[in-house]
């Protein structure tokens, strides 16, 4: 039963919904779904009070479980994610970081008797070194591997008896809230249809895979030998189709991948050993930073580790500059090395780009590695100083984020140059459609039949059939930052860059129409709290109404200009080869990802010849190879037509 406000035939505003099981929700609805602040009481009496987005606990909230446990903190898509405090009924508690429903990050496990362990956690398991503190105030620094062995004496209060039970965090009796879709039936006026559909999402990860013994708060399992060991938590989430092919041992570039990983590990580790300092002009001179090659013999050397690949040499360009850039872009050095140089192999995209470059992705999708020409390396190093100043001044710049430039010289003398970049589409959201746009029309189509297009296909200007509607503040920010970035590229003589767009459709019907093989449920609306000024960091959070400004936010969200941005995609009409809004097309709620890529091409002699040749075949204004000032103006005009204000 639903009681409350309606808007356009759907539950919107304040309302109350009750299930036959006795569960109830009272709070805010939007477009027939729970969205905003509200209170959910389950059939077992478990109660959640806090923020919701698209029928999911998302934002700041408090949940009291039926067994007396309680969690207060950040949620993301029905799971604890971010900073939070979990208190067990027996008084033990954990205060710290969570990820996908399990303890991950820095945090403290505190026993009711005052004993505590402070350290880093990963997937519910202590990792690395931490500090044990006794109720008396004494402390002992040790490794996390010592924690289970000490747990019985360290955490157990006098006379405590281990009780075998399961924690509320495991998700017992904590099923995903049903998705509510409420609307008036179009067939019979006045009839109200309510479909309750099971939410499509990952099941709650369990902290402990088997029955766990809790000795006053220290949870561990015993192996066959009787030695306590920590239980591991394995989260199972639906996997979408991922672009690229894993580079296995039989892959032709397997040895090159290993050499790249060895080289980056050496370079980043070597630069990290030097104290961070302010950049000097000499740091931008590649001749100062790459005068010699580092040799990597298979047997190893004083400076390098032994390895199983052939002999190769390695060159690192401007290491201090890129170290500063990684810090500016909030990339942790350890995470950077683990992502690229860890045990997981890279993935190679199925085919090289038009330029002949190959692309590699890390398994966690955070970083993209591209092979480049010598001319592209020279251009990047030439503009590196001004690039650093630009991205430092405008934190929301849409230009590609660069993290490193390297070169491998193999045993046969072949040189392979790499740049490491941020992956624009690194997200838990599945990208259903992707477009590479230049603002030109000549040859700008994917040349694929409809049944050949899937979520990994990169479409082009003439394939685009949407305009994107953004709320006013996002619309203003986008066009202002686009102008700044294009002015910068024009001043550097850069042209032929692209505007890459990734679209995630929030409803499964639209996703299936786009040819998606797997749909991942996602929040419908995310809000921006304030417009950035002068390129400052934007804070975002969740609110009762998707277009309300929220001045006080408790947490910085993943949303920023160009990443995880809420909007609407409207089917559009095409005139003169380009799309224009027609106000009558079908509209989809979407999450958008976009940025400016391929910025390492100047208006060289080759491009001038290309312009002259193609101008004889077609309209000169329709080709990509034009001088930087014209390219910038045309580019901005085109993006201005496909991104419009949502009135």
Label residue 326 by pLDDT band (50, 70, 90). Answer: very high
What local confidence, expressed as pLDDT, does residue 286 receive?
A: 73
Residue predicted with more confidence, 91 or 499:
499
What local confidence, expressed as pLDDT, does residue 237 receive?
A: 33
Residue predicted with more confidence, 512 or 19:
19
What local confidence, expressed as pLDDT, does residue 583 receive?
A: 62
- Asked if the model's pLDDT at residue 462 lies above 90, the reply is no
| Residue count of the chain | 647
DSSP code at position 512: H
Mean pLDDT of 463-477: 91
Distance of CA 550 to the CA centre of its chain: 23
pLDDT digits (tens, 9 = 90+) for 512-565: 555 543 333 343 333 333 333 333 333 333 333 333 333 333 333 578 899 999
What local confidence, expressed as pLDDT, does residue 554 receive?
A: 32
The full set of domain ranges for the chain reads 246-273+281-422, 433-507+560-645
Among 56-60, 240-244, 321-325, 552-556, which stretch is predicted with the lowest mean pLDDT?
Answer: 552-556
What local confidence, expressed as pLDDT, does residue 373 receive?
A: 92
pLDDT digits (tens, 9 = 90+) for 93-106: 889 998 888 888 88
DSSP code at position 620: G
DSSP code at position 539: P
Beta bridge partners of residue 83, listed in sequence order: 97
Cα separations in angstroms, 378 against 155, 319, 382, 383: 59, 15, 6, 9
The most confident of 244-253, 315-324, 511-520, by mean pLDDT: 315-324
Q: What is the percentage of the chain residues whose pLDDT exceeds 90?
A: 33
Mean pLDDT of 320-331: 93
Cα separations in angstroms, 10 against 194, 316, 515: 10, 59, 28
Task: Tell me the C-alpha distance between 495 and 489, whole Å.
Answer: 7
Label residue 445 by pLDDT band (50, 70, 90). Answer: confident
Tokens of 341: 């140089």
Residue predicted with more confidence, 40 or 542:
40
What local confidence, expressed as pLDDT, does residue 578 receive?
A: 61
Tokens of 557: 């969200």
Comparing CA positions, the residue from 8, 16, 6 lying closest to residue 39 is 16
Residue predicted with more confidence, 223 or 362:
362
Cα separation of the two ends of the chain: 33
Task: Tell me the C-alpha distance between 534 and 537, whole Å.
Answer: 9
Our separate counts of H helices and E strands in the chain read 10, 38
DSSP string, 144-165: TTHHHHHHHHHTPPTT---EEE
Residues in contact with 171: Cβ distance below 8 Å, sequence separation at least 6, in sequence order: 101, 203, 204, 205, 206
Task: Tell me the C-alpha distance between 362 and 242, whole Å.
Answer: 12
Residues in contact with 340: Cβ distance below 8 Å, sequence separation at least 6, in sequence order: 260, 261, 264, 346, 362, 367, 369, 420
| Residue linked to tokens 């949502």 | 646
pLDDT digits (tens, 9 = 90+) for 295-313: 999 888 888 888 888 899 9
Task: Tell me the C-alpha distance between 442 and 242, whole Å.
Answer: 30
Q: Which CATH architecture has domain 246-273+281-422?
A: 2-Layer Sandwich (3.30)
Label residue 89 by pLDDT band (50, 70, 90). Answer: confident
What local confidence, expressed as pLDDT, does residue 489 receive?
A: 96
- Asked if the model's pLDDT at residue 240 lies above 60, the reply is no
What local confidence, expressed as pLDDT, does residue 548 receive?
A: 34
Comparing CA positions, the residue from 602, 568, 567 lying closest to residue 588 is 568
Question: Are 560 and 396 within 8 A, CB to CB?
Answer: yes
Cα torsion angle, 358, 361, 362, 363, sign: negative
Cα torsion angle, 356, 447, 428, 640, sign: positive
For residue 83, with 0-12 CB atoms within 10 Å meaning exposed, 13-18 middle and 19 or more buried, which class applies?
middle
Comparing CA positions, the residue from 430, 433, 425 lying closest to residue 520 is 430
Comparing CA positions, the residue from 109, 64, 60 lying closest to residue 83 is 60
Residue 256 backbone dihedrals phi, psi, to 5 degrees: -60, -40
Can you give the pTM of this predicted structure?
Answer: 0.60
Cα separations in angstroms, 200 against 42, 184, 417, 522: 19, 23, 43, 9
What local confidence, expressed as pLDDT, does residue 173 receive?
A: 35
What local confidence, expressed as pLDDT, does residue 629 receive?
A: 93
What value does the mean pLDDT of the chain take?
A: 75
Residue 498 backbone dihedrals phi, psi, to 5 degrees: -130, 155
pLDDT digits (tens, 9 = 90+) for 394-429: 999 999 999 999 999 988 878 999 999 999 998 888
The most confident of 224-238, 315-329, 332-346, 537-551, by mean pLDDT: 315-329
pLDDT digits (tens, 9 = 90+) for 160-204: 333 223 333 333 333 444 333 333 333 332 333 333 322 322 222
Cα torsion angle, 418, 422, 428, 430, sign: negative
Task: Tell me the C-alpha distance between 152 and 134, whole Å.
Answer: 13
pLDDT digits (tens, 9 = 90+) for 55-88: 889 999 999 998 889 999 999 888 899 899 999 8
The most confident of 217-231, 237-251, 296-310, by mean pLDDT: 296-310
What local confidence, expressed as pLDDT, does residue 219 receive?
A: 31
Within a 10 A sphere around the Cβ of 8, how many other Cβ atoms? 9
Comparing CA positions, the residue from 395, 603, 382 lying closest to residue 490 is 603
Task: Tell me the C-alpha distance between 470 and 327, whole Å.
Answer: 30
Q: Is 26 helix (H, G, I), strand (E, B) or coil?
A: strand
Label each residue of 306-333 as H, E or C: CCCCCCEEEEECCHHHHHHHHHHCCCCH
Task: Tell me the C-alpha distance between 175 and 164, whole Å.
Answer: 22
Among 16-20, 106-110, 134-138, 479-483, which stretch is predicted with the lowest mean pLDDT?
Answer: 134-138
Among 16-20, 110-114, 385-389, 403-407, which stretch is predicted with the lowest mean pLDDT?
Answer: 110-114
Residue predicted with more confidence, 140 or 46:
46
- Asked if the model's pLDDT at residue 148 lies above 70, the reply is no
Q: Which CATH architecture has domain 433-507+560-645?
A: 2-Layer Sandwich (3.30)
DSSP code at position 517: S
Label residue 224 by pLDDT band (50, 70, 90). Answer: very low
What local confidence, expressed as pLDDT, does residue 620 receive?
A: 79
Label residue 27 by pLDDT band (50, 70, 90). Answer: very high
Among 202-211, 302-311, 439-448, which stretch is predicted with the lowest mean pLDDT?
Answer: 202-211
Among 83-97, 128-142, 255-269, which stretch is predicted with the lowest mean pLDDT?
Answer: 128-142
Task: Tell me the C-alpha distance between 207 and 99, whole Å.
Answer: 12
Residue predicted with more confidence, 194 or 629:
629
What local confidence, expressed as pLDDT, does residue 446 receive?
A: 82
Question: Are 522 and 54 within 8 A, CB to CB?
Answer: yes
Tokens of 197: 């559909």
Mean pLDDT of 566-591: 76
């Amino acid at each position: 039963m639903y009681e409350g406000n309606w808007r356009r035939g759907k539950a919107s505003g304040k309302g109350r919904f009750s299930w036959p099981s006795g569960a109830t929700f009272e709070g805010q609805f939007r477009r027939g779904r729970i969205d905003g602040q509200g209170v959910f009481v389950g059939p077992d009496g478990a109660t959640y009070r806090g923020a919701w987005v698209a029928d999911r606990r998302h934002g700041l909230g408090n949940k009291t479980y039926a067994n007396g446990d309680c969690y207060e903190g950040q949620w993301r898509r029905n799971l604890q994610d971010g900073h939070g405090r979990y208190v067990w009924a027996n008084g033990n508690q954990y205060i710290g970081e969570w990820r996908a429903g399990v303890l991950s990050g820095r945090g403290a496990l505190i026993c009711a008797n005052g004993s505590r362990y402070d350290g880093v956690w990963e997937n519910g398991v202590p990792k690395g070194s931490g500090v044990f503190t006794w109720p008396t105030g004494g402390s002992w620094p040790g490794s996390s591997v010592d924690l289970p062995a000490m747990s019985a004496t360290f955490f157990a209060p006098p006379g405590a008896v281990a009780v075998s039970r399961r924690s509320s965090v495991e998700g017992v009796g904590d099923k995903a809230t049903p998705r509510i879709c409420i609307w008036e039936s179009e067939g019979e006026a006045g009839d109200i249809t309510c479909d309750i559909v099971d939410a499509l999402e990952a099941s709650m990860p369990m902290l402990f895979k088997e029955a766990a013994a809790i000795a006053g708060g220290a949870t561990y399992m015993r192996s066959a030998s009787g030695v306590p060991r920590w239980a591991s938590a394995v989260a199972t989430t639906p996997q979408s189709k991922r672009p690229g092919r894993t580079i296995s041992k039989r892959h032709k570039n397997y040895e090159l991948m290993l050499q790249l990983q060895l080289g980056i590990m050496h370079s980043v580790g070597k630069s990290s050993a030097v104290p961070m300092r302010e950049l000097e002009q000499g740091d931008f001179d590649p001749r100062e930073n790459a005068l010699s090659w580092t040799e990597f013999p298979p047997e190893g050397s004083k400076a390098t580790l032994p390895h199983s690949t052939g002999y190769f040499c390695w060159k690192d360009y401007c290491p201090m500059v890129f170290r500063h850039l990684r810090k500016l872009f909030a990339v942790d050095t350890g995470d950077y090395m683990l992502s690229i140089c860890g045990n997981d192999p890279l993935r190679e995209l199925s085919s090289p780009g038009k330029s002949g470059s190959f692309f590699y992705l890390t398994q966690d999708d955070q970083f993209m590695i591209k092979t480049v020409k010598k001319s592209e390396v020279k251009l990047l190093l030439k503009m590196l100083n001004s690039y650093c100043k630009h991205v430092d001044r405008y934190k929301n710049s849409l230009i590609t984020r660069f993290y490193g430039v390297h070169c491998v010289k193999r045993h046969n003398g072949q040189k392979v140059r790499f740049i490491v970049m941020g992956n624009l589409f690194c997200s838990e959201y599945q990208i259903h459609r992707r477009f590479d746009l230049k603002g030109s029309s000549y040859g700008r189509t994917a040349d694929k039949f409809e049944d050949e297009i899937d979520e990994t296909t990169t479409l082009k200007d003439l394939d685009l059939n949407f305009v994107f509607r953004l709320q006013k503040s996002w619309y203003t920010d986008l066009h202002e930052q686009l102008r700044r970035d294009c002015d910068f590229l024009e001043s550097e003589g850069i042209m032929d860059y692209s505007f890459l767009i990734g679209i995630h459709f929030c409803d499964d019907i639209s996703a299936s129409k786009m040819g998606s093989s797997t749909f991942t449920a996602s929040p419908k609306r995310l809000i921006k709290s304030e417009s950035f000024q002068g390129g400052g960091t934007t804070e975002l959070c969740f609110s009762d109404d998707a277009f309300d400004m929220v001045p006080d936010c408790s947490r910085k969200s993943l949303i920023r200009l160009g990443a995880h941005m809420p909007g609407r995609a409207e089917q559009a009409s095409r005139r003169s080869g380009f799309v224009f809004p027609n106000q009558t097309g079908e509209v989809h709620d979407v999450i958008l990802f976009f940025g400016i890529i391929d910025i390492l091409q100047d208006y060289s002699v080759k491009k001038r010849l290309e312009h002259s040749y193609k101008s004889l075949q077609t309209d000169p204004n329709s080709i990509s190879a034009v001088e930087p000032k014209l390219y910038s103006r045309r580019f901005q005009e085109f993006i201005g037509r496909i991104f419009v204000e949502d009135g």
